[in-house]
């Protein structure tokens, strides 16, 4: 009797279990159906490649510019660009430059500016200076959080260089177009006091031909030992300079080259160069350090020391810009 009763109970429980499994399966299928059907329907209407956020006219937080760009990378970038003995307002200005260039790079799908790791900073500054210098970086970046420079609604190409030749360059003269209207010729004669303002290098005729390499023709290279300085100078003809005094075009051995191409070939400080024969050698004098476009780091530091705030410094070197604060 007891065995028969237990069998009945077991049969009842087994039937109940099978029934519950069936109902549970149906419930799961129904839940999945009602969950995914609206999503599939939405994708069919909007197109699989479109975001419903974008079609609604805004970008969700996880896709925002702030999430694409982490401000924590700025200390390394700014540290790679300027000296930590720079005035704080000039550090702030450089932080805005770095942030602007980062966001412009993101917009255009380009690589971000290079930065230093903390280990590289320690090797550069010394362990004893690291805490102080890194604190100044953080202060400058925090004080300008989110601030970028725009022209016509877009982030500018915030070019900068170490020191100008006395005036910064007009990009329109260099490139022959109006793509960068904010890069104008600016008075930066405060750079004259920079140790990088003037550099003088001497070459023998053979040295300047050999270092120039393919800038010279085979005939000239073959007769390098027979060339006098006067002969070489007759083959180095500056045909065009810009308003700031930088060489735009120079003819070497009858072939035109850009001033930047030649200065990079020889490793000169800038393309604001000139030649002269001195005691049978060719003297090359360069003014400034760098390409001469945009902000002069030395000039910015001088302005900061004179009481300029970082926005005033940036407005001085970049013509007609506006400031926009991201992440508001």
Per domain, the residue ranges of the chain are: 2-55, 63-188+293-325, 198-287
Q: What pLDDT is stored for residue 238 in this prediction?
A: 97
Q: What pLDDT is stored for residue 26 in this prediction?
A: 58
**Nearest CA-CA partner of 182 in 316, 59, 42:** 316
Q: Three-state DSSP class for 258?
A: strand
The DSSP H or E segment spanning 296 is strand 295-296
Which contacts (CB < 8 Å, 24+ apart) does range 277-282 have? 277/229, 277/230, 277/233, 278/202, 280/204, 280/228, 280/229, 281/202, 281/203, 281/204, 281/229, 282/202, 282/203, 282/204, 282/205, 282/208, 282/229, 282/232, 282/233
Q: Where are the alpha helices (DSSP H) in the chain?
A: 2-46, 52-55, 65-68, 74-81, 88-108, 118-125, 127-143, 171-175, 205-212, 218-222, 229-235, 259-266, 297-305, 310-317
Extract the tokens encoding 218. 């085979």
Q: What pLDDT is stored for residue 202 in this prediction?
A: 97
Q: Is the pTM of this model over 0.75?
A: yes
Tell me the CA distances in angstroms from 251 to 151, 197, 281, one per residue in order: 36, 25, 20
The DSSP H or E segment spanning 287 is strand 281-287
Max intra-chain CA distance, the chain: 130
Q: What pLDDT is stored for residue 40 in this prediction?
A: 45
CA–CA separation, 205 vs 281, rounded Å? 7
CA–CA separation, 157 vs 154, rounded Å? 9
Q: What pLDDT is stored for residue 46 in this prediction?
A: 41
Q: What pLDDT is stored for residue 30 in this prediction?
A: 53
Extract the tokens encoding 105. 């790079």
Residues in the chain, total: 328
Sheet holding 236-241, edge to edge: 236-241, 247-252, 255-258
Q: What pLDDT is stored for residue 223 in this prediction?
A: 87
Q: What pLDDT is stored for residue 69 in this prediction?
A: 75
Walk along the chain (328 residues) and give the pLDDT tens digit of each residue: 444 444 444 444 455 454 455 554 555 455 544 555 444 444 443 443 333 223 323 233 333 444 457 899 999 999 999 999 999 999 999 999 999 999 999 999 999 999 999 999 999 999 999 999 999 999 999 999 999 999 999 999 999 999 999 999 999 999 999 999 999 999 999 999 999 999 999 999 999 999 999 999 999 998 888 889 999 999 999 999 999 999 999 999 999 999 999 999 999 999 999 999 999 999 999 999 999 999 999 999 999 999 999 999 999 999 999 999 986 5
Do 308 and 89 touch, CB atoms closer than 8 A? Answer: yes
End-to-end CA distance of the chain: 80
**What is the DSSP track for 40-67?**
HHHHHHH-TTS-HHHHTT---GGGSHHH
């Amino acid at each position: 009797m007891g065995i028969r009763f237990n069998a009945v109970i077991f049969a009842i429980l087994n039937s109940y279990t099978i029934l519950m499994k069936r109902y549970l399966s149906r419930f799961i299928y129904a839940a999945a159906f009602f969950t995914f059907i609206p999503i599939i329907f939405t994708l069919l209407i909007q197109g699989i490649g479109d975001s419903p956020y974008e079609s609604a006219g805004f970008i969700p937080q996880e896709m925002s510019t702030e999430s694409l760009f982490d401000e924590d990378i700025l200390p390394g970038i700014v540290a790679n660009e300027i000296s930590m003995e720079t005035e704080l307002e000039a550090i702030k200005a450089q932080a805005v430059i770095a942030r602007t260039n980062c966001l412009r790079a993101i917009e255009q799908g380009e690589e971000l500016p290079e930065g230093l790791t903390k280990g590289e900073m320690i090797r550069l500054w010394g362990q004893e200076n690291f805490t102080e210098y890194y604190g100044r970086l953080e202060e400058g970046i925090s004080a300008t959080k989110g601030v970028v420079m725009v022209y016509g609604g877009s982030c500018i190409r915030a070019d900068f260089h170490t020191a100008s030749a006395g005036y910064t360059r007009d990009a329109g003269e260099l490139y022959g177009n109006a793509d960068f209207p904010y890069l104008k010729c600016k008075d930066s004669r405060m750079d004259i006091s920079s140790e990088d303002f003037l550099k003088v290098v001497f070459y023998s005729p053979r040295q300047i031909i050999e270092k120039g390499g393919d800038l010279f023709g085979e005939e000239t290279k073959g007769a390098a030992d027979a060339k006098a300085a006067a002969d070489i100078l007759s083959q180095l003809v500056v045909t065009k300079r810009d308003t700031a005094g930088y060489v735009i075009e120079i003819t070497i051995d009858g072939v035109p080259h850009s001033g930047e191409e030649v200065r990079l070939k020889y490793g000169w400080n800038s393309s604001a160069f000139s030649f002269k024969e001195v005691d049978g050698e060719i003297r090359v004098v360069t003014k400034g350090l760098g390409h001469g476009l945009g902000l002069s780091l030395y000039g910015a530091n001088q302005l900061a020391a004179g009481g300029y705030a970082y926005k005033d410094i940036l407005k001085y070197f970049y013509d007609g810009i506006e400031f926009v604060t991201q992440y508001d």
